[in-house]
Amino acid sequence: MAEPAARVIVHIDMDAFFVEVERLHDPALRGKPVVVGGDPDGRGVVAASSYEARKFGVHSAMPLRTAKRLCPQAVFVQHHRGRYSEASEEVFDILEVFAPVVQPVSIDEAYLDLTGTERLYGAPDAAVTELRAHIRRKTGLPSSAGIGGSKLVTKIASGLAKPDGQRRVRVGDERAFLAPLAISIIPGVGKVGERRLREGGVRTIGDLDRLGRPRLEAWLGESGVWLWECSQGIDEREVQPGGDPKSIGRETTFWEDTGDAEFLESTLHHLAERAASRLRRHGMRARTVNVKFRTSDFRTSTRARTLKAPSWRDADLIPAALELFRQLFHDERGGRAKVRLLGAYFSGLSREAAQMDLLEGERERREENLIRSVDAIRDRFGDGAIVVGKVIRYLEEE
C-alpha cells in the first residue's frame, strides 16, 4: 500500500492580538509599549502587552501595578471585548474561505489543514505568505505561522517565527528542528514537569531523543512515551473542523442614539447583507430571521420570523429583517424610540438539501452566480465595495 501523502498543517497565530486591534482604533499607539488591561493603579491584571512592553518583562496575567513598575512609559488602555471578537470574526472569515479545514483554538489562533491544496495554491510557503498578507490587507493585523506535518511542530514553529513571520518544518526534518529547543517549549510540559525533567538532566528536546523511548517509559510511564514521541515530532492529532455556528449575525452600536428610521433601515440592510454573506461562506441556509434592537433606555427587544423554506438568498433574508425592524420600531412608542443598538441574526441554520424553484429556476441560478461573485469581490475588497440590492435591481430591470 502506498504511503499516505504527508499532511500539510498550518498553525496561525495573531501577533499581540488585543494590542494590534487597539492600535487600529488609535494609531497613536503604534511603536509604543502598550498594555491592555485598564487602570495601572487598579487591581486588574495584564490582558495583553505589545512586544515593546514585553522587552521590559511585562507579560499577560501580571498585575497591572507590577507592569507599571517595570515599564512606566507604557500606555495603558482599556480592554474592549467587542472589538476583539469582531476582528476575530473577520480573520476567521478569511481563514474559512482559504482552508478546507479550520480548527479554531482561541480568539486569535487556529490550525488549518491544507493537505491537497497544492494544486490550487502552490507550495505551502508561498500560500501562507499570501494568506498572511491578505489578512493584513483586509484587517490591518499582523500574524505569524508555522507550517509542517503535525500540530505540535507547527505550533512550536509559529511561536519561534513571531512577530510577523513564518517558519516551515519539512517532513523528516522534525527531529533536527526540535533537538536544540528547551523542553518547556512543548505545549503541555508545565513548570512542574520541566523541573522534574531537569532534575533528571533533561534540558532540551534533543536530550529526550538521546534518552530513548524505553528509558523514558520506565522513568515516567505514559508521559514518557508521549515526551519521546514529541521529540520525534510525532503528533497524529487531526485538525478538527470547528462546529457549525448556531446563529450568524451582525450588530452595531451607534455613537449617538438615533430615531431616524431611514438611517436605521439602511444600517440594518447593511448588517443583514453582511450576515447573509457570512452565512453563504459557511455553506448554510437559515430558517429564522431575527432582529435585535436596544433603545436609549437600555431595553432590548428582539423579534423573529420563520421563513417558508431555509434560505441563503439576500432576497429572502433582508426583506424579512427589514419587515421585522419596521414592526419593532412601530411597536416601540409608535416609531418615536431612539435606538442605541441594532442587529440582524440568522438562526435555524442547516445544510439541508434545498428544493429549487421551477418557475424561478433560471432567475435563481443567475442570482446565485451573481451573489457568489459579489461575495468573492467582498472577500477581496471589503464589504463596502458593492451593494447587492442594487445589483439585483439592475438584474430585474434588464
The residues annotated with a catalytic role in the active site are 109
Among positions 264-323, residues that touch another protein (CB under 8 A) are 308, 323
Among positions 49-68, residues that touch another protein (CB under 8 A) are none
Indicate the DSSP class of residue 356: P
Rounded to a whole number of angstroms, the minimum distance from the CB of residue 388 to another protein is 20
> What is the rounded distance in angstroms from the CA atom of residue 304 to the CA atom of residue 347?
9
Binding mask 318-337 for another protein (x = CB under 8 A): -----x---x--xx------
> What is the rounded distance in angstroms from the CA atom of residue 66 to the CA atom of residue 300?
40
Rounded to a whole number of angstroms, the minimum distance from the CB of residue 373 to another protein is 17
Phi, psi of 356 (to 5 degrees): -90, 155
63 Ramachandran zone, left/alpha/beta (phi>0; psi -120 to 50): beta
CB closer to another protein, 180 vs 334: 334
> What is the rounded distance in angstroms from the CA atom of residue 146 to the CA atom of residue 165?
9
Among positions 329-388, residues that touch another protein (CB under 8 A) are 330-331, 350, 352-361, 365
Rule CB under 8 A: say whether 126 interacts with another protein.
no
Question: Please, which residues bridge with residue 333 across strands?
Answer: none
The distance from CA 335 to its chain's CA centroid, rounded to whole angstroms, is 37
> What is the rounded distance in angstroms from the CA atom of residue 170 to the CA atom of residue 266?
51
Kindly state the cell numbers that stand for 229: 514521541
CB closer to another protein, 172 vs 283: 283
CB closer to another protein, 145 vs 324: 324
> What is the rounded distance in angstroms from the CA atom of residue 347 to the CA atom of residue 350?
9
Strands 285-295 and 247-258: unpaired
CB closer to another protein, 210 vs 330: 330
> What is the rounded distance in angstroms from the CA atom of residue 272 to the CA atom of residue 269?
5
CB closer to another protein, 265 vs 323: 323
Among positions 204-263, residues that touch another protein (CB under 8 A) are none
Q: Please tell me the count of residues contacting another protein according to CB under 8 A.
A: 17
**Interacting residues with another protein (CB under 8 A):** 308, 323, 327, 330-331, 350, 352-361, 365
